[in-house]
Amino acid sequence: MKVLITGANGQLGRDTTIVFEAAGHTVLACDRDKLDITDQQQCEEVVADFKPDAVLHCAAYTAVDAAESDIDGAYLLNAAGTRNVAVAAEKCGAKMVYISTDYVFDGLAEQPYQEYDAAKPRTVYGKSKLAGEMLVQSLSSRYFIVRTSWVYGIYGSNFVKTIMRYAQEKPVLKVVDDQIGSPTYTVDLAHFLLELALTEKYGIYHASNSGACSWYEFTQAILEEAKELLGLSVTAGLVPCTTEEYPRPAPRPRNSVLEHLSIRTNGFKDIRPWREGLRDFLKELKQEQ
């Protein structure tokens, strides 16, 4: 299979490129220099020249707080850019895989969100990603929309790396304990994207590592596993706090847990528990050091 990946220098894009290449597929990994998704003509030319069987659209505006004051920038990348990629993929008959987010929901539900629950984003980032979803659904005849949450991997800045650094630099770590979600290891997500892209089981999917925790519980697990696997010396004390004690420009979802209804009903094996993914991430990190 020939696969074009946008945002290939990003956290998910790099692991997706590695996973698809390791499986023997021909990959055109496009970073911003190779493919500016806001340039419609360039999108169509690059995609038409490569003639992919599938386009994995990982490029996105992901600065959640910055988006609140940069509305045009967020929509330019997440809506117009996604439209450009979707149109180009459709013209050459390629499957479209769009990476979306838990932020399309309001985060106020008591239960995990299913794929076909009503989307009610509360942030500019979430609204712009939902706009991308709507454009993919209206412009693509063969699409997968894959929503994920709390993503971390070896190739980017993320919560896990930040916590490990702060644990050695700060006297106290205050972490919110009233927001819950499912941490997602990019390698695990990339393997699911590979499995999905090889099928004709189109639609919306929620894909995260299994299980859920609060940011505070996630931090506890990071410190415990990093101490065991990496010998991390933790000098900081860990203290829970509320969302109100840690205000941000963009409101965070209280509940980011995604129900994997489509994974089950389409016969896929569920993604492994989040703590197993965390352990393998830390082992990978150790090998990189």
Residues taking part in catalysis: 125
CB neighbours of residue 71 within 10 Å: 12
- List the alpha helices (DSSP H) in 82-214: 82-91, 124-139, 159-169, 186-197
Angstrom CA distances, 201 to 27, 113, 286, stand at 22, 20, 37
Ranges of beta strands (E only) in the chain are 2-6, 26-30, 54-57, 95-101, 143-148, 151-152, 172-176, 180-181, 184-185, 203-206, 213-214, 237-241
How are the residues of the chain apportioned to helix, strand and coil, as percentages rounded to the nearest 5?
45, 20, 35
